[in-house]
Each structure stands twice: as C-alpha cells, then as structure tokens.
C-alpha cells in the first residue's frame, strides 16, 4: 500500500462536552482546535470533527447482517495493527464500553480474517475498529 492520506470526517453530536470527553478520555484522541459548536480531534492520525447538532428522534441506525452479527450502518472507524487492536480492546473493556458487537475474530481462517468490534459514542454514532491478520488482505476478494 502507498502512503495513506489522512481523512477528514465531521459527525453530529447532541452533547458536545460529553462527546468531547468520550473521544479525548475514553478513546485517547488528542484534541485540536475547537469552538463552542465543534471540536477537532486527531483520530488515529485522521481529522475527526464533532459538530453540535440538536438531538433528533428520527435518526435511527440501519442494521446489516455480516458474519451472523447485526452491523450498524452507518459506522466509521480505523484499521489498527493486530497487537494495537488487542490492547485497545482491553482498554475499552476496562473503561466499561458497552459494545454493540464485542471484540471477536471475523472470517476466521478465510481471506480477510480480521478482529473487529463495534460500539457507539454518547450521541449514538457507531464506530468499528478492526485489525487484519494479514493487512495485505484489506481489499482482498
């Protein structure tokens, strides 16, 4: 793979301070610029911006079945190295994260074997973190 460029993602949150604490203190993201309506974070080398948006009751996640699990859509996250995924998942468990899908190995023994986990931020944005047994299979069919 060639050098990756950082992505920029802006997501809505209905409680800026609660989500600021979550991304900074739970996920360990470094806080950057901010205003009274948004906060920048270094999200594993990428730029994540949480923007205040009043809560709306009609914003439900869709579910797709993958490997027999209910995967929330939309979701976002990062592909981590295998060892970092293992330590990060242990850290999240120690911080009592409520997992939508607990950390487990998906497609075990197949092309694209990966560790994965899903959880939500305090505003209900779904996150997935994963790691590939063989990173060269990231896009393999």
Domain count within the chain: 2
CA-based nearest residue to 39, from 61, 5, 6, 15: 15
Show the domain range for 103: 63-141
Place of tokens 């911006």: 49
pTM score: 0.91
133 and 87 inside one domain: yes
Residues of the chain above pLDDT 70, percent: 96
68 and 133 inside one domain: yes
- Average pLDDT of the chain, as a whole number: 93
pLDDT attached to residue 4: 82
36 and 80 inside one domain: no
10 and 31 inside one domain: yes
pLDDT at 1 over 60: no
Q: Write out pLDDT tens, residues 35-53.
A: 999 999 999 999 999 999 9
67 and 125 inside one domain: yes
31 and 91 inside one domain: no
Q: Where are the alpha helices (DSSP H) in the chain?
A: 16-21, 82-94
- CATH number of the domain enclosing 72: 3.10.180.10
């Amino acid at each position: 793979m060639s050098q990756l460029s950082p992505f920029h993602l802006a997501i809505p949150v209905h409680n800026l301070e609660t989500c600021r604490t979550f991304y900074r203190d739970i996920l360990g993201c470094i806080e950057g610029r901010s205003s009274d309506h948004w906060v920048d974070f270094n999200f594993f080398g990428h730029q994540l911006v949480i923007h205040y948006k009043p809560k709306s009751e009609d914003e439900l996640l869709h579910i797709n079945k993958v490997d027999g699990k209910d995967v929330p859509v939309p979701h976002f996250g990062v592909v981590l190295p295998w060892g970092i995924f293992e330590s990060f998942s242990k850290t999240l468990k120690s911080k009592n994260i409520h997992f939508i899908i607990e950390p487990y190995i998906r497609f075990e023994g197949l092309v694209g074997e990966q560790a994965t986990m899903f959880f939500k931020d305090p505003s209900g944005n779904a996150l997935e973190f994963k790691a590939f047994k063989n990173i060269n299979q990231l896009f393999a069919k």
